[in-house]
Structure 1
Amino acid sequence: MKSNSFRISLIITAILGLLFLSGCNFFSNEVGKMKEALKGREVVIQTYDEDSNIIDRIQGKSVSIGADKKFDLTDSEGKTVEKSSVIGFTVGGESVVHVGSSLIMYETGLENVFEEYSKKVDIENIDRSVPFVNRLVNDMKNITTGKSKVILIRSQSGKPLATFVGDKVSYFATDIDKSTGILIDGQYLFIYRCDYTIYDASLLN
């Protein structure tokens, strides 16, 4: 009996160890998945001015994204002391270089509910006594039905420019300065030079 109990304990310990290691590697695995998945998926890339007006919009497949390493700042030993904030894209084999203004890139399966909201509401005349995100959630009925997170993205001057909702949301660092990668129900959102807040939907309803 003692021998069987000891074997069971060893098995349980081994399983817990594997789960711990897999948890530690979660974010690096997700970054790898993102890079691989975007090669065959359709995405939208949009840049914004300080007032959250769209400057340009690109939609395409087979996207790759990365920092232009020529702009990394290095010390005398060649170690990177500041990551490059210059982004290089290829979209269907064509290239784009971007730096400076706020940018988001998201899979076309994700819905930017802010764009629909802004068509219906005069954002410039919103009552400032009511927090913006609460008004958005209440006005866009049912956007959080069955969802647990709301992601509000703002320009560098603090003006809302995009909103996404999802049930399973995780975020991770990228190799590009001033950027964040977010997984929303298995689909990818890349944010560059933006403010953002991730809320529990239950907090806003």
Structure 2
Amino acid sequence: MKKWRLVLLLIAATLLLSSCNAVKWFMGNVKEELVGRELILQTYDEDSQMIDSVKGKSISIEADEKFAIKDKEGSIVSKSAVLNITVGGNQMLHVGSSMLAYDTDLVDIFNEYSKTVDIDKVNRSVPFINRMVNDMKNFTTGTKKVVLIRSQSGKPLATFAGDDVSYYASDIDKATGLMIDGKYLLIYRCDYTIYDTKLLLND
């Protein structure tokens, strides 16, 4: 009887841990090393205009260590900002412009919003992100955090929302990793702000 209780306890603990973003982050990193992730890669100019978009099933992103600055002992003084990306066995190098890499199941609500609203004509007396979130409550109702991502010149380029949002340090210079409801997002050379959704909703 005790053995069954122990087995049930272990199963419950496994299920609980499997729902944690930290575990999913770790498992995602292991998966990326072994077989790669299924992601959408998008790069942007300073005006938040998309330069290119690549979608692949076996994507791996890492810093190209040849460009890291090291001291005499070989320790890294400054991490490499050059990305060495493999997409289904093909190579892609990237540095400089803003880039997002995100799970194919993650919805960019900024992209959805811009399809229906002329952003250049939005009333500037209402903060942009507040207006967007309030106009798209069907995407954000009940969510706990909203991530607004901007180009290096400060222009909004993407927005994600989720009930469970966590952020992590990355081995890549000027990059941050996030888990949004268990889905992966890498932000490279972008400005970003993470808000509690309640701060933005005008109820």
**What's the TM-score, normalizing by structure 2?**
0.84
- 1:8-31 CA deviation, whole Å, 9 max, x = no partner? xxxxxxxxxxxxxx9xxx85x655
Q: 1:166 aligns with which of 150, 162, 169?
A: 162
Q: Distance in 2 between matches of 1:132 and 1:88?
A: 34
Q: 1:53 aligns with which of 49, 55, 59?
A: 49
SS of residue matched to 1:62: strand
Q: Is the 8 A contact 2:100 2:187 kept in 1?
A: yes
Contiguous gaps of at least 5 residues in structure 2: 1-16
Q: 1:36 aligns with which of 30, 35, 42?
A: 30
**What's the TM-score, normalizing by structure 1?**
0.83
What residue identity is the alignment partner of 1:65? I
RMSD between superposed Cα atoms in Å: 1.7
Q: Is the 8 A contact 1:35 1:64 kept in 2?
A: no
- 1:25-55 CA deviation, whole Å, 9 max, x = no partner? x85x655322233435421000000000000
Residue pairs, 1:12-161, within 5 angstroms:
31-38=25-32, 39=35, 41-161=37-157
SS of residue matched to 1:143: helix
What residue identity is the alignment partner of 1:194? C
Q: Distance in 2 between matches of 1:43 and 1:167?
A: 21
What residue identity is the alignment partner of 2:160? F
Q: Distance in 2 between matches of 1:40 and 1:64?
A: 5
Q: Distance in 1 between matches of 2:106 and 2:72?
A: 44
Q: Distance in 2 between matches of 1:129 and 1:33?
A: 44
Query: How many residue pairs align between the two structures?
Result: 180
Shift of 1:73: 0.6
Structure with max Cα Rg: 1
Contiguous gaps of at least 5 residues in structure 1: 1-21
Q: Distance in 1 between matches of 2:104 and 2:63?
A: 23
Q: Is the 8 A contact 2:146 2:162 kept in 1?
A: yes
